[in-house]
C-alpha cells in the first residue's frame, strides 16, 4: 500500500495543454449536470437525489482507491477538512441547485450559478491571496458574464425577480463553490482522488439521515429516466469531475479552475438542445466568443497573453 499523501516532489511536471484539456472535460461533466438534475428532480426530491448522487460517487471512488492501493487518511483533523469541503462543494450547493431547478428556468439557473469565479476573485482580494487585481482579470470576469447572457439569451434575464428564493439559492450555491475552490488548496499534497472520495463520503454521512427523515425514500416511485440521471450525475458529474477538480486546484489554482464555470455554460446549453429540445438564442455564437475570451484572460498568465497579443499584431 502506498501512502495517500505523496510529496509534491513526486508529482510529474505539469503539461499546460493537458491541464486545459482536463478543464474542458470538467466543464463538460458539470455542464451536463443541469440536464441530469432537471430530469432527476422530476420524480426524486432534491435531498434524496443529492444523497444518492454523493453515495454512489463516493462508493465508486472508494472502490477505485482500493484497487489502486491508496488508503484514505485516518487523522480526525483531515476528516474534519473533508467535512468542511463536503459542505462547501457538494452538500449545500448540490442541494440548493436541485431545489432551485424545480421552479427556475435552466437558462437563468445556469447564469446565476456560473458566477463562482467572481466570488473567488473577490474572496481572493479580501484575503490578500489574489495578487494584483489586473485589468486582464477584470476583463475575464466581465467578458465571461457577458458571454453567458448572450448564449442563454438576454430574454432569460426577464425571469429575475420571480421565484426570488430559488434565485438566491443559486447565487448562494455559486458562493459555496467559490469558497470550496479557495479551501480546496489545503489538499494540495494529496492524491486528487483522496479528497474527492473523502469529501463525498463525508457528504453522504450528512445527507443520508436527512433523506431518510425528510423524504422517506422507500415510499418514492422514481422513473427510470430519473434513476439513470442520478447514475450519470454520480459517475460523470461527481466521481470523475471531483477527481479532475482536485487535480486542477493543485495544478492551475482556484481562480483558473473556476473558469470552467464559463465553459460549462455553452456545453450545458448544447446538452439541453440535444436531449431536452431547448433552442439556442440568436446571440449564442457571439456569446461563445466572449466566453472563450474570458476563460483565456482568467487562465493564461498575463505576460504570456501579452506576448501572444503582440505576436498576433505583428502579423498585420
* Segments in the chain forming alpha helices (H): 16-40, 46-68, 76-86, 92-100, 106-113, 116-127, 135-152, 164-183, 193-214, 224-234, 241-251, 254-258, 260-276, 284-299, 302-314
What are the residue ranges spanned by the domains of the chain?
29-314
Terminal CA-to-CA distance of the chain, rounded, Å? 58
| Helix, strand or coil, per DSSP, at residue 189 | coil
Nearest to 34 by CA among 119, 105, 116: 105
| 75: confidence class by pLDDT, cuts 50, 70, 90 | very high
pLDDT digits (tens, 9 = 90+) for 36-55: 998 999 999 999 999 999 99
Q: Which residues contact 68 (CB under 8 A, 6 or more apart)?
A: 193
pLDDT of 310 higher than 50: no
pLDDT digits (tens, 9 = 90+) for 213-234: 999 999 999 999 999 999 999 9
Torsion angle (degrees, nearest 10) of CA 234, 196, 129, 20: -70
| pLDDT for the residue numbered 238 | 94
Q: Show the cell assigned to 138.
A: 477584470
Q: Which residues contact 283 (CB under 8 A, 6 or more apart)?
A: 150, 151, 153, 154
Percent of the chain with pLDDT over 90: 40
| pLDDT for the residue numbered 306 | 44
pLDDT of 12 higher than 60: no
**What are residue 70's DSSP bridge partners?**
2
**What are residue 2's DSSP bridge partners?**
70
Q: Average pLDDT over the chain, rounded to whole? A: 81
pLDDT of 6 higher than 60: no
Q: Which residues contact 74 (CB under 8 A, 6 or more apart)?
A: none
For residues 218-246, one letter each, b for 16 or more C-beta atoms within 10 angstroms of the residue's C-beta and e for the rest, the string is eeeebeeebeebbbbbbbbbbbbbbbbbb
Find the mean pLDDT for residues 237-250.
91
| pLDDT for the residue numbered 168 | 85
- Sign, CA dihedral 237-240-243-246, equals negative
pLDDT of 201 higher than 50: yes
Could you tell me how many residues make up the chain?
316
Please state, in angstroms and rounded to a whole number, the distance separating the CA atoms of residues 230 and 307. Answer: 45
| pLDDT for the residue numbered 76 | 95
Residue with the larger pLDDT of the pair 213 and 6: 213
Find the mean pLDDT for residues 75-82.
96
Decide: residue 96, CB within 10 A, 0-12 exposed, 13-18 middle, 19+ buried. buried
In degrees and rounded to multiples of 5, residue 70 shows phi and psi of: -105, 130
pTM, entire model = 0.78
pLDDT digits (tens, 9 = 90+) for 150-181: 776 766 666 666 677 888 888 899 889 888 88
Please state, in angstroms and rounded to a whole number, the distance separating the CA atoms of residues 91 and 173. Answer: 10
Amino acid at each position: 500500500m502506498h501512502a495517500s499523501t505523496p510529496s509534491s516532489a513526486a508529482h510529474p511536471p505539469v503539461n499546460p495543454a493537458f491541464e486545459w484539456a482536463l478543464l474542458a472535460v470538467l466543464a463538460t461533466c458539470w455542464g451536463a449536470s443541469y440536464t441530469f438534475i432537471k430530469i432527476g428532480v422530476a420524480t426524486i426530491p432534491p435531498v434524496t437525489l443529492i444523497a444518492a448522487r454523493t453515495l454512489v460517487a463516493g462508493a465508486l471512488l472508494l472502490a477505485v482507491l482500493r484497487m489502486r492501493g491508496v488508503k484514505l487518511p485516518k487523522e480526525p483533523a483531515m476528516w474534519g477538512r473533508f467535512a468542511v469541503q463536503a459542505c462547501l462543494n457538494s452538500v449545500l450547493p448540490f442541494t440548493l441547485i436541485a431545489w432551485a431547478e424545480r421552479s427556475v428556468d435552466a437558462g437563468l439557473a445556469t447564469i446565476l450559478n456560473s458566477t463562482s469565479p467572481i466570488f473567488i476573485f473577490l474572496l481572493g482580494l479580501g484575503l490578500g491571496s489574489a495578487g494584483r487585481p489586473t485589468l486582464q482579470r477584470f476583463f475575464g470576469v466581465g467578458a465571461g458574464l457577458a458571454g453567458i447572457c448572450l448564449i442563454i439569451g438576454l430574454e432569460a434575464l426577464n425571469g429575475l425577480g420571480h421565484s426570488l428564493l430559488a434565485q438566491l439559492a443559486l447565487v448562494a450555491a455559486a458562493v459555496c463553490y467559490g469558497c470550496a475552490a479557495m479551501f480546496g488548496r489545503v489538499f494540495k499534497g494529496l492524491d486528487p482522488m483522496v479528497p474527492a472520495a473523502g469529501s463525498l463520503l463525508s457528504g453522504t454521512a450528512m445527507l443520508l439521515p436527512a433523506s431518510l427523515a425528510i423524504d422517506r425514500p422507500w415510499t418514492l416511485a422514481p422513473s427510470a429516466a430519473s434513476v439513470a440521471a442520478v447514475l450519470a450525475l454520480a459517475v460523470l458529474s461527481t466521481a470523475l469531475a471531483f477527481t479532475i477538480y482536485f487535480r486542477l486546484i493543485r495544478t492551475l489554482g482556484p481562480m483558473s479552475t473556476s473558469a470552467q464555470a464559463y465553459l460549462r455554460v455553452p456545453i450545458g446549453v448544447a446538452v439541453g438542445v440535444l436531449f431536452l429540445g431547448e433552442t439556442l438564442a440568436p446571440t449564442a455564437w457571439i456569446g461563445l466568443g466572449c466566453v472563450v475570451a474570458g476563460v483565456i484572460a482568467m487562465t493564461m498568465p498575463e505576460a504570456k497573453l501579452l506576448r501572444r497579443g503582440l505576436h498576433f499584431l505583428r502579423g498585420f
